[in-house]
Amino acid sequence: MTDYRWTRLSTADATSWAALVNHLADVDGTEEYLAAEDLREELESTSLDPAEDTWAVWDGEQVVAFGLAHCSSNLSHEGQVRTFVEGGVHADHRGRGLGTELMDRLEIRARDRAAAMHPEQPGYLSAGGQTEGSSARALLFERGYTVARYFNALTRELREAPEPPAVEGVTLRSPVPADETPVHSSHDVAFRDHWGSAPTSEESWRERWTSRSNRHDVSTLAVDDRSGEVLAYVLCGQWVDRELYVNLVGTVPAARGRGLAAACLARTIALAIETGSYDLIDLDVDSSSPTGATRLYERLGFRLKRTTAAMRRDLQGFPES
């Protein structure tokens, strides 16, 4: 451990950090590729204090491990504090205790942030368990985490557009800047019954809405012709060349069963094909989604790529820092 140098992450580290993140996307099979610009944007988020919530482990001039700890500003719909830890270790530097040391620091930081932001409230630590048999999942099991949910990564080639379902009383269109607040309101209503969700703060939504990765030109809203309410939405982004990613799909409960999400997604697929800029469209979906979303995507031509796990453990029980 004494051969490594530990620092906090800063925007100046983004290029080396991105090299590690993209190495992990390859060796761990997550395909979660990010550019240095995306990571700089993450460090500038109002939900993260890089000087307290991040770590970088250096071998010479190379970042070989990193970690981040987050705490949500809002309680979940079940009244729990949501904290998140994430990170990774370069494949050539595994087995040397870096992952364990990172998790020790991340968990205590997450616990301390939760206590400061939401005193006396119950909560949990959440971490990505990757695929079955991964080193990340093994480490988390050792630390008392259990699989809380499975998520399916789906993909579809962008060759032929699906036949759009007929919908009445709505207009399908792409988002414009003035839609930021209406879509935020609809999203909080649409996800109220989704596992692990919480109301999104205005600051977090603003950052999400204005992110450099967004592709609003191929995103779709279903807007009620009478009230002007956003009833359903498909919001997309891009991190990989020629691949479109669906960040969010939602329908407010009162409008479910009308095929609005399918109509929005069919329009987005058609737009993406029309641009000629994309070969694939990808998304991740809760395998136990209350809206039956996996079946919806299969009908639109998506196929399963892999299944990953979301893992949790209680925040209580950590030693005092």
pLDDT per residue as tens digits for the range 129-159: 999 999 999 999 999 999 999 999 999 999 9
Burial of 227 (0-12, 13-18, 19+ CB in 10 A): exposed
Tally of residues, the chain: 321
The conformation of residue 214, written as its DSSP 8-state character, comes to: B
Q: How much is the CA Rg of the chain, to the nearest whole Å?
A: 20
The tokens for 75 are 């309680």
Query: Is the pLDDT score of 52 beyond 80?
Result: yes
Q: Are 57 and 37 in contact (CB under 8 A)?
A: no
Q: Are 67 and 54 in contact (CB under 8 A)?
A: yes
First to last CA, the chain: 21
Q: Which residue pairs from 205-210 have beta carbons closer than 8 angstroms and sit at least 24 positions apart in sequence?
A: 205/180, 206/180, 207/41, 207/45, 207/46, 208/247, 209/180, 209/183, 209/184
d(CA 276, CA 265): 17
Q: What's the pLDDT tens digit per position in 85-134?
A: 999 999 999 999 999 999 999 999 999 999 999 999 999 999 999 999 99
- Angle formed by the axes of helices 98-117 and 135-142, nearest 10°: 60
Query: Is the pLDDT score of 320 beyond 80?
Result: no
Q: What's the pLDDT tens digit per position in 15-45?
A: 999 999 999 999 999 999 999 999 999 999 9
Q: What's the pLDDT tens digit per position in 202-225?
A: 999 999 999 999 999 999 999 999
> What is the average pLDDT across 241-269?
97
d(CA 296, CA 290): 12
Q: Work out the percent of the chain whose per-residue pLDDT is above 70.
A: 97
> Which amino acid belongs to residue 185?
S
Distance of CA 287 to the CA centre of its chain: 15
Question: How many CB atoms within 10 Å of residue 280?
Answer: 14
Res 104: pLDDT: 97
